[in-house]
Structure 1
Amino acid sequence: MPSGKAGIMATFHPSWRCPSAGHPLNERPLSTAIRPSACPGLLRIVPALDGGICRIKLDGGSITADQADALASAAERFAGGVIEATNRSNLQIRGIDDQSAALIDSLLAAGLGPRTAAGDDVRNLMLSPAAGIDPQMRFDTRPLAGQILETLQSHPRFDELSAKFAVQLDGGEALAMLEHPHDLWLSAYEKHGDTLLAFGLAGCPTDRPLAGVALADGHALVVAVLELFLDLARPEQTRMRHLLDECPAPVLLEKLGQRIRLHSVGDWQRKAAPEGLHLGVHPQPLAGQVYVGAAPALGRLDPVMLRGAARLARTFGDGSLRFTPWQSLLVPNVREADAAQVLNALSKLNLLTRIDDPLSRLIACTGSSGCGKGLADTKHDARLLAALLPHAVDVHLSGCSRSCAAAHRAPATLLAVAPGRYDLYFRDAAQPGFGALHAHNLTIEAVATLLADRSRSSLDA
């Protein structure tokens, strides 16, 4: 059994045939088909204290109702029934036992796998959860995203990319996660009535872009950037930020300009997105249609919740669900007349539907109940904190310094130092990591008192 990074032993799927399609996922030997990695995937089960973890990467965050049912059944039959929504719009199953091969086969049969075995690692493309249905979008990103995903999985050289190497395609939607850093980001903007794509490296769409390309060159840009990265990066330089430390952005841009036509972006810069659009009822471009958003508390679903949401998608929507970087889900294409009924049904499934609910604003990693590195039971402590807070506050509880649950810097971070004890940080642009240390070794009760006394405006500074 191959060894993953940091001493983690990963279990690989023993069969390379897709049950639904009847053809090999990959003809290459196991040793080259999948690289050892600490990151879970569909074909790589990574162990944790509460059992194995399998991560299912969803194309653009979307899943059909039938696929959601299959995933719920797999979690019930072959694991502990715990399903997690991730901050990259994916799903993962926890508590997998020795039936990992059967679990993977069932998910492959549902069409939830990659085109090739090696392609499972590199399907890291984030879209807006409202791609194609957001009133503010400048273009529907889904066709371009499909091209990019196909190339990521079929281009043999891209198998060399790190399992963490990620791309973001932003169509200008109002519902957009703009704080997660990506190795390459593309963001739609208008110039002289035409839609173009601004882009940047190792950052977020709200950063100052390096340049732009024509919309028709979006796919070619992604290919050019990834190939250039692989041409220049040494094996230990696995992320774009590592390469930029040695090869500054202007040098990379000059080399990129030799491969593809670049445009000046001028003074354009992406504006921050409004908050709270992932929960509740929100209009779509077509009159009379809405999407309805809800979130499992702290990102944890069970099979009943997932099946219930899938049933609502069939009955009132288009038979699909969309997962979001806020660890929530959307039921798209709902008639406005049915929205209140769908929202009420989601609430009855114990999903959160209001942005002013304190629990809906908290992020917590698995913590000591499932992770050997966790110093505190963050899920339990987050629920306790939510019950103590007089109003909703954005807080991230992390069991260790790795910050697995949050890809961005939260306004307030609690870093565990012992069971039930945390250091409190407030976001500070001048400080690295979590920000400025405000207080040390606090109980949850003390944290609640401090946060209640501090205004939200200062938290969001």
Structure 2
Amino acid sequence: MSGDLLNQPVSAHQPHASLRPSACPGLLRIVQAKDGGICRIKLAGGALTADQADAVASAAERFSTGEIEATNRGNLQIRGIGNEQAGLIELLLAAGLGPRDAAGDDVRNLMLSPVAGVDPQMLFDTRPLAAQLLQALETTARFHQLSAKFAVQLDGGEALAMLEHPHDLWLSALQLDGALWLAFGLAGCPAQDSPLGAVPLAQGHALVLAVLHRFLDLATPEQARMRQLLVEHSPDDFVAGLGLSIRRDPAVLQWRRPATAGSRYLGIYPQHQADLSAVGGAAPLGRLTPSMLRGAAQLARERGDGSLRMTPWQSLLLPNIPHRHVDAVQTGLVQLGLLCSADEQLARLVACTGSAGCAKAQAETKGDARLLATLLTNGAPASVHLSGCPRSCAMAHVAPATLLAQGPGHYDLYLRDAAQPGFGSLRARNLTLKEAGALLDACPRSTLDD
């Protein structure tokens, strides 16, 4: 990803005490968990340089137990941090992984496609607009009042994009009358929701700023998210008060975002640019070792443009790989321990931290997921989610199948059902892993497609 989207570091000596109290980890706020501190590194559009990846690996080795997590929003976080937190923060800031303003760290929640700017089906390159929006989020003092969970998605029409994660504001490219527009919605996602309106692409920046200011104008302290605000203020009233000319004719309101490329984030993904591809591999159960991350960075230097992109599928992509090198890069990722094929059973599983690292978890979900992978034969990528508690930290949308822990080695099974709240329809209670595997294998493959 182009360097103008990468964050400039704040001063290593800037005070952190002014940060808003929050339970969410950030780069400058390390939150304690059962297995130690957690530091979340919010990446601009999911992108980082090979040198920055090396810095994350070194920080994990020096200041933690070495656990690096790929998150479901395309970021990285380090777990198991001990008492030397200042040294870890200094190292990451020196690598340019911090915000422009310390108080703006929490609000850098802008999701792009991991192949922004290189996807063959993109309608426009989202990165320049994303850079503008990130600068506004990081440097506008009023926006620092937003919750650390308040999130925005900018979709350029890419074939490879996560469209099921809910966002407080989403924007999606569409063509109308030979011109590019941005459809938008509130408290939802483009995979499921119809737009509330659209603006010309050139007004995208103004639209986002208007939405953020209107939210802050209307929200009470208890209304941290857009969905909470919309309980008292209708979407139509919210849009009417934006002060912009919003197109709301049937061509916009009846438009639906086309489906995406599913599991193609694994393996080789041809780019828009001739003779170049991105090559992707998933972190097993969302965990990267320092050697994995450092090895991927070296492949990016040797075979690509020296950059990496993290994805919302808890995986990474190495972009801009010449076609003559793609097989070697994929082999290299496999040798590092990453999952590069949807046929691998572990690639279909998502699991939270589990009881080894989280006091709220009712089961050791990571270990249980590895055992479940040996029991499953009817595979589809990212189709089964093991959650240690109802909070569903490992997955931002509802999985086709969810195993909710009830105790060590025992789970309730839910199948996604749009007519049911939460995880969906409860199919069985208190299953052992062997029983869960048998029931999942008995489900039609289409039921477990994500």
Superimposed CA distance per residue, residues 69-117 of structure 1 (whole angstroms, 9 cap, x where no aligned partner): 0110010011111100000000000010011110000000000001111
Counterpart amino acid of residue 180 in structure 2: T
Counterpart amino acid of residue 66 in structure 1: D
Of the three residues 420, 443, 448, the one matched with 1:454 is 443
Give how far 1:458 is off.
Answer: 2.8
Aligned counterparts of 1:161 and 1:21: Cα–Cα separation in 2: 21
Counterpart amino acid of residue 86 in structure 2: A
Is 1:277 aligned with 2:261?
Answer: no
Superimposed CA distance per residue, residues 287-341 of structure 1 (whole angstroms, 9 cap, x where no aligned partner): 1110000011001001100010000000111100000000000000000111001
Where does 1:75-94 land on structure 2 (aligned, <5 Å)?
A: 75-94=60-79
Give how far 1:261 is off.
Answer: 1.7
Aligned counterparts of 2:269 and 2:62: Cα–Cα separation in 1: 36
Aligned counterparts of 2:412 and 2:189: Cα–Cα separation in 1: 27
Aligned counterparts of 1:371 and 1:246: Cα–Cα separation in 2: 35
TM-score (norm 2): 0.95
Aligned counterparts of 1:425 and 1:22: Cα–Cα separation in 2: 44
Secondary structure, counterpart of 1:351 in structure 2: coil
Aligned counterparts of 1:23 and 1:37: Cα–Cα separation in 2: 22
Structure 2 vs 1, CA of residues 23 and 344 (structure 1 numbering), >3 Å: closer, same or farther? Answer: closer
Give how far 1:30 is off.
Answer: 5.0
Counterpart amino acid of residue 428 in structure 2: A
Counterpart amino acid of residue 46 in structure 1: V
The equivalent residue for 2:3 is none
The equivalent residue for 1:422 is 411
Superimposed CA distance per residue, residues 93-150 of structure 1 (whole angstroms, 9 cap, x where no aligned partner): 0010011110000000000001111100000000000000000000000000000000
Report the more deviating stretch, 170-179 or 392-401. 392-401
User: Where in structure 1 do 4 or more consecutive aligned residues deviate above 3 Å?
Assistant: 20-26
Higher-RCO chain (CA-CA 8 Å, sequence separation at least 6): 2
Mapped contact 2:9–2:100 kept (Cα < 8 A): no
Of the three residues 82, 85, 89, the one matched with 1:104 is 89
Is 1:228 aligned with 2:214?
Answer: yes
Counterpart amino acid of residue 441 in structure 1: N
Is 1:313 aligned with 2:300?
Answer: yes
Aligned counterparts of 2:187 and 2:13: Cα–Cα separation in 1: 31
Of the three residues 178, 181, 189, the one matched with 2:166 is 181
Counterpart amino acid of residue 443 in structure 2: R
Of the three residues 231, 235, 243, the one matched with 1:245 is 231
Alignment identity in percent? 63
Aligned counterparts of 1:255 and 1:22: Cα–Cα separation in 2: 35
Secondary structure, counterpart of 1:84 in structure 2: strand
Counterpart amino acid of residue 303 in structure 1: P
Aligned counterparts of 2:363 and 2:70: Cα–Cα separation in 1: 21
Secondary structure, counterpart of 2:386 in structure 1: strand
Give how far 1:21 is off.
Answer: 6.6
The equivalent residue for 1:344 is 331
Give how far 1:274 is off.
Answer: 2.2
Is 1:45 aligned with 2:34?
Answer: no
Structure 2 vs 1, CA of residues 95 and 195 (structure 1 numbering), >3 Å: closer, same or farther? Answer: same
Of the three residues 194, 201, 210, the one matched with 1:215 is 201
The equivalent residue for 1:438 is 427
Secondary structure, counterpart of 2:83 in structure 1: coil
Counterpart amino acid of residue 346 in structure 1: L
Give how far 1:460 is off.
Answer: 4.2
Aligned counterparts of 2:227 and 2:403: Cα–Cα separation in 1: 26
Of the three residues 316, 324, 331, the one matched with 2:311 is 324
Mapped contact 2:10–2:102 kept (Cα < 8 A): no
The equivalent residue for 2:240 is 254
Report the more deviating stretch, 371-380 or 351-360. 351-360
Of the three residues 350, 354, 366, the one matched with 1:363 is 350
Secondary structure, counterpart of 2:30 in structure 1: strand
Aligned counterparts of 1:22 and 1:408: Cα–Cα separation in 2: 33
Mapped contact 2:378–2:445 kept (Cα < 8 A): no
Mapped contact 1:356–1:391 kept (Cα < 8 A): no
Q: CA RMSD in A?
A: 1.3
